[in-house]
Amino acid sequence: MNESIYVISVGFMLIFLGGLTFHRMTSKRTPEGARALLRPSGRLALMGVLLTAAYVFSLPGVYHVLEAIVPISNGTDFIAKCCAMTAVGVLGVHLAVAYGSETATTWIIGKRGLLVGVIAASGVLFTLLVADTPEASPRLEMYQGQRAVELNEWIVLAYTAYVLAPLLLPLLRDGRRNPLRLGRLASRLIFAGFIFSIARALAYPLELHAGPEAFYIFELVTHVSTACVVLGLWVFAIARRHRLARKTLDIGLSIK
């Protein structure tokens, strides 16, 4: 009992401190040491590391090794989900800054963003503690029938949708207006990826109704969404590396 209270209190403290750190690192008055995160390459690198960590932690081999260290049963799943949610948050900040969307920035890293992030992480931890998950199971796959696990999964999806939703309009606008053809393609790819993610969060009741066997089909939607976003970012990276804007968009007077 005492051990459970200890784990819960430490868990919530970690969420609280993690949330505050994220807020501090991404706020306008950022300390010098965290300025790297303000640079686009720093944000992208952090997002890549977090996203990779989330996927790696969910691999059965790694998952079982980590389970031996983590004090609560299936705590690795909680860590993986926190990594994934933070990666989504960092991606959101990255795009909100790039598209100059004040609304998205406030939603993701303002006080409201911090509050939602902390509530989401707390919700994930709380539902994990409430659920009966004695055996290690990556993505809590063995316990998909439990109401708490369903809620746990939905919180992650809902937080993702919350972060991505305010970016839809800037993405859609850029997908139509970007003077660079590749830029339009990239924005449309990211937009498509976001739509898939939001659609999965909204269609979650359908997913529950379909039963545990449909879990991997719906997981496929998330994978397609991730692929679209990564491809979109990659296209932007290609455009930057090859200086395509400078090469394609002519500002000279020659009509030859």
Q: Which residues bind another protein (CB under 8 A)?
A: 40, 94-95, 97-99, 174, 178-180, 183, 186, 233, 236-241, 244-246, 249-251, 253, 255
The residue among 6 and 234 lying less far from another protein, judged by its C-beta, is 234
Least distance to another protein, CB of residue 30, Å: 17
Phi, psi of 78 (to 5 degrees): -65, -45
Q: Compute the distance between CA of residue 31 and CA of residue 10 in angstroms, rounded to an integer.
A: 26
The residue among 28 and 246 lying less far from another protein, judged by its C-beta, is 246
The residue among 47 and 120 lying less far from another protein, judged by its C-beta, is 47
Least distance to another protein, CB of residue 249, Å: 4
The residue among 70 and 184 lying less far from another protein, judged by its C-beta, is 184
Name the DSSP class of 59: S
- Do 222 and 139 meet the contact criterion of CB atoms below 8 Å apart? no
Cα-based distances in Å from 193 to 66, 89, 106, 117, 210 = 30, 15, 22, 21, 23
Residue from 109, 85, 106, 105 nearest 95 by CA: 105
Q: Compute the distance between CA of residue 142 and CA of residue 215 in angstroms, rounded to an integer.
A: 11
The residue among 40 and 145 lying less far from another protein, judged by its C-beta, is 40
- DSSP 3-state assignment of 81? helix
The residue among 100 and 134 lying less far from another protein, judged by its C-beta, is 100
Helix 147-164 to helix 111-130 angle (10° resolution) is 160
**How many residues can be counted in the chain?**
256
Which H or E run contains 171?
A: helix 168-177
The residue among 120 and 239 lying less far from another protein, judged by its C-beta, is 239
Least distance to another protein, CB of residue 233, Å: 7
Residue from 218, 101, 224 nearest 165 by CA: 101
Least distance to another protein, CB of residue 33, Å: 22
Query: If you search the block for the tokens 């919530």, which residue do you land on?
Result: 12
Residue from 135, 117, 197, 126 nearest 164 by CA: 197
